[in-house]
């Protein structure tokens, strides 16, 4: 299985991604044949800082689980507004 095919399974999930020039926590928005759309999250404010298009061959590592990812999911989930009817 190719790396890109595997990443497609994790679209719309929070991950830590390391590429040739940096690494950040964020949400994997979409995975294409050449580029990956990635929303970077500011860890302190839990808001989206920027959206990057990363050339797929430059990606070195993607972490899909762990304590830091669980903390980000919990923080983002706590900010969701629930409207009662």
Residue 52, token pair as written in the block: 């990057």
Total tally of structural domains belonging to the chain: 1
In a domain, 85, yes or no: no
What separation in angstroms does the CA of 3 have from each of 6, 34, 70, 82?
5, 12, 23, 37
pLDDT digits (tens, 9 = 90+) for 22-66: 999 999 999 998 999 999 988 778 788 899 999 999 999 998 887
What is the residue range of 33's domain?
3-78
Return the H-helix or E-strand segment holding 8. Answer: helix 3-8
**The predicted structure's pLDDT at residue 80:** 67
- 54: domain CATH number is 2.30.30.100
Instruction: Please indicate whether residue 67 or residue 59 has the higher confidence score (pLDDT).
Output: 59
**The predicted structure's pLDDT at residue 8:** 93
In a domain, 67, yes or no: yes
b/e 49-67 (16+ beta carbons within 10 angstroms → b): eeebebebeebeebeeeee
Check residue 85 and report its DSSP letter: -
In a domain, 29, yes or no: yes
pLDDT above 60: residue 1: yes
Q: With a threshold of 0.95, does the pTM exceed it?
A: no
């Amino acid at each position: 299985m190719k790396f890109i095919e595997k990443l497609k399974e994790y679209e719309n999930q929070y991950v830590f991604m390391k590429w040739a020039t940096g690494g950040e926590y964020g949400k994997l928005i979409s995975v294409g044949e050449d580029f990956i759309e990635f929303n970077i999250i500011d860890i302190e404010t839990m808001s989206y800082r920027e959206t990057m298009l990363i050339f797929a061959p430059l990606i070195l590592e993607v972490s899909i689980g762990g304590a830091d990812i669980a903390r980000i999911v919990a923080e983002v989930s706590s900010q969701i507004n629930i409207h009662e009817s």
